[in-house]
Amino acid sequence: MRRVVVTGLGAITPLGNSAGEFWKNIVEGKSGAAPITKFDASKFKTQFACEVKNFAPESYFERKELKKYDLFTVYAVASSDEAIKDAGLDFGAMSLEERERVGVIWSSGNGGITTFEDQVREYVLGDGTPRFNPFFIPRMIVDIAAGVISIRHRLHGPNYCPVSACASSNTAIINALDTIRLNKADIIITGGSEAAITPASAGGFSAAQTLSKRNAEPEKASRPFDKGRDGFVIGEGAGALVLEELEHALKRGATIYAEVIGGGMAADAYHLTGTAPDGIGAKLGIKAALRDAGIAAADVDYINAHATSTPVGDTKELAGIYKVFGDGGVAISSTKSMTGHLLGAAGAIEGIVCVLSVKHDIIPATINVDEVDPEIPAGMNIVYGQSQHRRVNVSLNNSFGFGGHTATSIFRKYE
């Protein structure tokens, strides 16, 4: 089976608009949460989020061109442009035959929800005359970011968008891995983007009782594993990874961040939005990924948990992890304590965290934990407070989504 490595990274996040800035702030344990600025949230129960800050869309598209795209697509282009540059790829110098071997597998959980809300609001509040923007549909549909990335760089390889709610971008990474392994491409631009800090999105999640209401101190609201957690903090942004066949990368002298060695997917088969009490989906997804990677549980040094800071979800995920790993050993943390929950883009930016933890031998911490939930087994090695500098040979990335979707990808140090 062909080996696959990561040769480029890009990020647009609540903690910085590049992979380097994002990683620096993750290691330093900073929070990206603040009051919502994208709309008037004064009447909402939750009035804060993890927004992208100081982002300039016009740096990537001319003003006229920008009218064609929803923000989630702009985030996708920005992060993928960085990852492509970071990988040292010059598609303009490639032949058509070479570009036929380069694909884009890009995901989102919500797609152009901002566009959808704006257009429907204008129609409902107007006189009933349909005045929809001619770009309404292409701005909104969830696959369009993958299409725009391929058009921008004239890439003719596999191009599509897997959707599995908040497991979407981790699913995309696994699909990219398998596509290269099966010799259907040499390079895949993969990841996910989300721009869902909108009235309908915030209102819907709030009605489902999933959002934190800690309005007085938003920077402390995302607190996975803490006894007092009361919900997640919605976030936005994008994460991009360039996956490449090993020999192809070596031949062109690419910098290799890490090797992608396995991926597994499974289902809770339990509830529309809830996590199975015994963590069966997490357990099965992890075991499938370990099997695919050809390694044992004892080989994993770090798990970036999905842990969103919801009262039920965090402990149920740990129940599944415990069934595979038991006490001690593997270090666990949730970087959503800093970024909030980027929904369909979460798996991609957390994949970047896993890649860089392997590259730099650093395990980011879970911040905002004042009192550990007593339901968490005492022997589990959860990293709180400050990042740890220690050898990380193998890292594991967990993602789960409404509908019971689970996705787990595994990265290993390349030497």
Catalytic residue annotation? 166, 306, 341
CA 328 to chain centre: 26
Helix (H, G, I), strand (E, B) or coil at 51: coil
CA distance 81 to 99: 16
Q: Are 246 and 5 in contact (CB under 8 A)?
A: yes
CA distance 176 to 192: 12
Sign of torsion over alpha carbons 177, 170, 190, 18: negative
From the number of C-beta atoms within 10 Å of its C-beta (0-12, 13-18, 19+), residue 251 rates as: exposed
Could you tell me where the beta strands, DSSP code E, fall in 48-203?
Answer: 48-49, 102-107, 159-160, 187-194
**Residue type for position 387:** S
CA distance 158 to 178: 12
Burial 105-123 (b: 16+ CB within 10 A, else e): bbbbbbbbbbbbbbbeeee
